[in-house]
Amino acid sequence: MLHHIRRDQLYIWPARTYRDLVFETEIPLTRQPVFFISDPDALKIILTRNERFPKSDTQNRLLRKGLGDGLLTAEGETWRGQRRAIQPAFKIALLRNLVPAMAAAIDATAEKLDRLSEGAEFDLHHEMMLLTLDVLRRAMFERVAVDNEKMGWAVSEYLATFGQVDLGDYFALPDWLPRTKHFRVRAASAYFDKAVASILDERRADPAPPNDLLQLMMEARDEATGERLTDVEIRDNLITFFLAGHETTAIGLSWAFYLLALHPYIERRLVDEVRAGIGDRPIGADDLDAIAYARQVFEEAMRLYPPVPMFNRVAAGDENVGVLKIPKGAHIFISPYVLHRHRRLWDRPNDFDPDRFSPEAAAARHRFQYLPFNAGPRACVGLNFALMEGAMAIAALARRFRFALAPGFTPEMEARVTLRPKGGMRMVIQRR
Ligand code: HEM
């Protein structure tokens, strides 16, 4: 079973979880109770009462070695204070300032793809990984002297080690594993710490700082206590944003372009709407409404292929969730993948239909039925950042290129911490 979990985390979700809203079982050997839950009402209770249902400590401990006490891994008061301080930096009004940085990164990708010859085969997922890293780097540090290559290396080392923690590690957890990973990342971590320290010094000396994420973090204050983030907290959160926001967004984009390649009539509508709304000019902060359909495409792609296919919680005590009695220590498995394809919750669950995300249709749905970003107090803090970036990338690339699946290629899902296209996304490029 561990062997299978390592290769495919969705493997442990029995077929009946796509039909039943709750399924209770126990972990073999340890006999700990496990609840597979796709009932939106129960999920709302569990995910809203985050003190009663914290993240699994084992998994967190492992990630914390790389990410410190950034938002993703912190719990209790440390998490709450940081969340209060950081959340305002991700308000839509402030994120709009990042649109030019996002657009510049997307344009650079488009220029690069334009250098491929017509009909050339390439790995779209690889390009999306480079794009989303570039977006984060530009959004975080505008105008500070960053050695891009070294920073890229340090971040990649982090991602290659702490980005790989999976449920297999979490159950098996031999003690050597974290230490090996820790050792590998030590040089990258030392470089990152030094770079961040000098970036902070440089920024503090800047008389007219730009509105990038770094600046927002430096100015962030917990409104309840008035406290600012410490330098260590800023550092931990910068690396957390790279880890949490890089591969996830790239995966969402890769599956979105895959689905567009399979649905030419949806692709046609997308391109027509983008051209009618903004033509060929660069996308600006005022154009986000004009690319609303691109955002719907992105959201629907993440319904069918949620970049984080499952996450889990532990019951802190004996808990009642509606009629469910969840004993202390029970594991709660939540899978956006299963939830989003659940037969009792969705009409034609396996069909790609971006109209499900029209404002009316989305408003009529249970909030906890669609969880690519989780929901409640621990929802993804980068949600609006990712939606903006995803819609812009889809609109800007689709109006210029058509990506068709490479002949003979069918992508396969690799469900680990994230839902990667195994071996990449082989596409053929055509200009429009
Ligand atoms: C399509 C892209 C993304 C997806 C699907 C995604 C998904 C998620 C999910 C499912 C969680 C909750 C995990 C859990 O509760 O166990 C989460 C948390 C988080 N994400 Fe994202 N994310 C994305 C992009 C981003 C971006 C761009 C950033 C930052 C710039 C980011 C930063 C974070 C942080 C800091 C947390 C922890 C929040 C907290 O616990 O308070 N994410 N994300």
Answer whether 307 contacts ligand 1 (Cβ < 6 A).
yes
Distance 3 CA to ligand 1 centre (A): 27
* CA 386 to ligand 1: nearest atom: 27
Is 40 near ligand 1, meaning CB less than 6 Å away? Answer: no
Domains of the chain: 2-431 (1.10.630.10)
Evaluate whether 317 touches 343 at the Cβ level (below 8 Å).
no
Question: Can you tell me the distance from the alpha carbon of 380 to that of 255, in angstroms, rounded to the nearest whole number?
Answer: 20
Q: Which helix (H) or strand (E) holds 103?
A: helix 99-114
Which residue type occupies 348?
R
Retrieve residue 210's tokens. 């730009």
pTM for the structure as a whole: 0.94
Q: Among 299, 378, 380, name the best residue to mutate to test ligand 1's pocket (greatest count of ligand atoms within 8 A of Cβ).
A: 380
Query: How far does residue 243's CA lie from ligand 1's centre (Å)?
Result: 9
| Residue 30 token pair | 């340890």
Is ligand 1 within 6 A of the CB of residue 252? yes
Cβ of 309 less than 6 Å from ligand 1: no
In ligand 1, which atom is closest to the CA atom of 311? 16
Interval between CA 246 and ligand 1 midpoint (Å): 10
pLDDT in tens, the chain (432 residues): 556 665 677 777 888 899 999 999 887 777 889 999 999 999 999 999 989 999 877 667 767 777 788 898 888 888 999 999 999 889 988 899 999 999 999 999 999 999 999 999 999 999 999 999 999 989 988 777 777 777 777 877 777 776 665 544 544 444 444 555 566 677 888 888 888 888 888 889 989 988 889 998 999 888 889 889 999 999 899 988 988 898 899 999 999 999 999 999 999 999 999 999 999 999 999 999 999 999 999 999 999 999 999 888 999 999 999 989 999 999 999 999 999 999 999 999 999 999 999 999 999 999 999 999 999 999 999 999 999 999 999 999 999 999 999 999 999 998 877 899 998 999 999 999
207 alpha carbon, distance to own chain's centre: 34
Sign of CA dihedral 225, 229, 232, 236: positive
H-helix or E-strand spanning residue 172: helix 167-172
